[in-house]
Amino acid sequence: MNTTQQSLYERLGGQEGIAKVVDVFYDRILADDTVNHFFKNTDMEKQRRHQALFISFATGGPNQYTGKSMTKAHEGMNIKHEDFMTIVNHLVAALKEFNVTDEDIQAIAEKLLPMEKDIIEK
């Protein structure tokens, strides 16, 4: 199967590949003092699992995500646009570590960036 026939989910390596990206993503976030405070009271094992399932669903994989809505999950966190963009940049960097193409990174961004309105200043 060539890459034009594969779903974005498949090009990312399926659930296993996405879980690896998510691990690097959260390692980067937790090392960043400008945003790691958002996760200080978070069960990171559960968070990593939920994020991997969410990204899998968002990229065309099976719908196994059963977490809260974006608005509910971020309620009371008071995330600003700058925080959101810092986290997006950590995701982009994690994807690049796994040699994800710029085209696929753009496709992921197009799915995730519209969610900003449900995340910031909640």
Its domain, for residue 91, covers 12-119
Provide the b/e sequence for 26-55 (b: ≥16 CB within 10 Å): bebbeeeeebeeeeeeeeeeebbebbbbbb
Q: How many CB atoms lie within 10 A of CB 5?
A: 7
The 3-state secondary structure of the chain reads: CCCCCCCHHHHCCHHHHHHHHHHHHHHHHHCCCCCHHHHCCCCHHHHHHHHHHHHHHHCCCCCCCCCCCHHHHCCCCCCCHHHHHHHHHHHHHHHHHCCCCHHHHHHHHHHHHHHHHHHCCC
Mean pLDDT score of the chain: 91
- pTM of structure: 0.88
Binding site as annotated, residues for heme: 50, 74
Binding site as annotated, residues: 50, 74
Domain-embedded: residue 58 = yes
Share of the chain above pLDDT 70, in %: 96
Domain-embedded: residue 2 = no
Q: Where residue 36 sits, what CATH number does that domain have?
A: 1.10.490.10
What pLDDT digit, counting tens, does each position of 53-90 carry?
989 988 999 877 777 888 998 999 999 999 999 999 99
Total number of domains in the chain: 1
